[in-house]
């Protein structure tokens, strides 16, 4: 049976602080290194990631899923002195390469993180892998801070997300044709892909037990339809309230234009 958990625990920031940061972020975005980030993060999640990184202030970020490198640039902007480790199996797709980052193709789950300062490291997963498995791997190593960029709700998306877990939804990998044009991109979807997970409440119990915080970052604005073109409804798409109402001030038009890229990005703080 489906349940609706949008947040676990309390976060040390307010909706007002999020709203007050929007203008600074829009000014920052004017200096982005890539004209377009098709296939990667757009304004709603770039903003969410930038805001969260500045609040959490990790000394190191492990970015899994680099694509063209927009996320790496964003990490540099939010945390100018942080160490950055980038994991990307297809390095030749990277356009923006950071001098500060260390790049590797080896998967997060196949890397020895023993020497890392776990309390001061944040894991940023945007790699379309099984997020529940990633969470368990992060816990195994003792990491505490995670952002999951892909957090698709019950009936959508190409990976098992924490939102699906918390909705008791299980997961069925979409048929290849549903990937559409992304399938054309070189190696965009790579194994290992989880194919099927039976709907269950055990995975949700694990998340509830091990997460001090699970926080879905709110959309900046909400257009009439979801990213899949259907009308919003709270049963299929439980969503935090948007930060701004429509129409927005001209400064924030980018959030209206790219509103459909919103995908329930979440921050997780694991228990010690
Ligand atoms: C959605 S894109 C990342 C977008 C990026 N965060 C941005 O907006 O700047 C997903 C990326 O994950 C990479 N990927 C696929 N499997 C992966 C894995 N097992 N570990 C790390 N990255 C992986 C893909 O090659 C692709 O570049």
Give the pLDDT band (50/70/90) at residue 85.
very high
pLDDT at 183 over 80: no
Q: Is 129 in the pocket of ligand 1 (CB under 6 A)?
A: yes
Nearest residue (by CA) to ligand 1, atom 26, is 67
Cα–Cα dist 77/16, whole Å: 22
E-assigned strand segments in the chain: 7-8, 60-64, 83-87, 101-104, 121-125, 145-148, 171-172, 196-197, 211-216, 266-270
Mean pLDDT, range 175-199, rounded to an integer: 63
Beta bridge partners of 187: none
pLDDT at 250: 92
Nearest residue (by CA) to ligand 1, atom 17, is 127
What structural domains and CATH numbers belong to the chain? 7-270 (3.40.50)
Nearest residue (by CA) to ligand 1, atom 13, is 65
The total of other beta-carbon atoms located within 10 Å of residue 227's CB is 15
Give percent of the chain above pLDDT 70: 92
**In a mutational test of the pocket of ligand 1, which residue from 48, 106, 111, 127 has the highest number of ligand atoms less than 8 Å from its CB?**
127
Cα–Cα dist 173/156, whole Å: 9
Nearest-atom index, ligand 1, CA of 74:
9
Place of tokens 């949700």: 204
Nearest-atom index, ligand 1, CA of 45:
8
Nearest-atom index, ligand 1, CA of 73:
9
Local structure of residue 203 (DSSP, 8 states): H
Angle between helices 70-78 and 43-56 (to 10 degrees): 40
- Are the C-beta atoms of 109 and 133 separated by less than 8 Å? yes
Cα→Cα distances 91→94, 179, 188, 225, Å: 6, 22, 12, 35
pLDDT at 97 over 80: yes
Average per-residue pLDDT for the chain: 92
Q: Residue 246 C-alpha to ligand 1 middle, in angstroms? A: 32
Q: Is 93 in the pocket of ligand 1 (CB under 6 A)?
A: yes
Give the pLDDT band (50/70/90) at residue 62.
very high
Q: Residue 165 C-alpha to ligand 1 middle, in angstroms? A: 21
pLDDT at 194: 73
Q: Is 76 in the pocket of ligand 1 (CB under 6 A)?
A: no
Q: Is 121 in the pocket of ligand 1 (CB under 6 A)?
A: no
Alpha-helical runs (H) found in 57-191:
70-78, 131-141, 162-166
Quick: pLDDT tens for 209-224: 999 999 999 999 999 9
- Closest listed residue to residue 189, CA positions, set 178, 204, 197, 201: 178
Cis before 126 (ω within 30):
no
Sheet containing 211-216: give its strands across. Answer: 7-8, 211-216, 266-270, 145-148, 121-125, 60-64, 83-87, 101-104
pLDDT at 257: 95
Q: Is 175 in the pocket of ligand 1 (CB under 6 A)?
A: no
Q: Retrieve residue 204's tokens.
A: 């949700």
Nearest-atom index, ligand 1, CA of 72:
9
Q: Residue 245 C-alpha to ligand 1 middle, in angstroms? A: 32
pLDDT at 186: 45
Q: Retrieve residue 104's tokens.
A: 């590797």
Q: Is 49 in the pocket of ligand 1 (CB under 6 A)?
A: no
Cα–Cα dist 225/153, whole Å: 15
């Amino acid at each position: 049976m489906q349940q609706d958990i949008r947040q676990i625990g309390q976060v040390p920031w307010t909706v007002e602080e999020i709203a007050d940061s929007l203008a600074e972020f829009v000014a920052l975005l004017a200096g982005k290194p890539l004209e377009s980030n098709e296939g990667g993060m757009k304004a709603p999640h770039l903003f969410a990631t930038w805001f969260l990184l500045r609040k959490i202030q990790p000394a190191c970020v492990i970015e899994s899923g680099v694509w063209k490198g927009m996320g790496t640039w964003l990490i540099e902007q939010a945390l100018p002195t942080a160490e950055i480790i980038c994991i990307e199996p297809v390095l030749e797709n990277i356009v923006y390469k950071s001098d500060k980052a260390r790049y590797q193709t080896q998967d997060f789950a196949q890397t020895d993180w023993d020497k890392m300062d776990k309390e001061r490291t944040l894991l940023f997963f945007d790699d379309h892998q099984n997020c529940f498995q990633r969470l368990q791997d992060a816990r195994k190593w003792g990491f505490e801070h995670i952002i999951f960029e892909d957090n698709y709700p019950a009936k959508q998306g190409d990976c098992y997300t924490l939102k699906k877990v918390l909705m008791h939804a299980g997961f069925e990998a979409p048929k290849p044709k549903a990937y559409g044009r992304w399938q054309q991109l070189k190696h965009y979807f790579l194994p290992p892909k989880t194919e099927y997970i039976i709907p269950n409440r055990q995975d949700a119990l694990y998340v509830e037990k091990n997460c001090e915080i699970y926080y879905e970052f709110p959309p900046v604005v909400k257009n009439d339809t979801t990213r899949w073109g259907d009308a919003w409804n709270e049963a299929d798409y439980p969503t935090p309230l948007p930060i701004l109402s429509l129409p927005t001030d001209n400064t924030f038009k980018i959030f209206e234009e790219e509103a459909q890229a919103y995908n329930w990005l979440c921050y997780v703080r694991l228990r010690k």
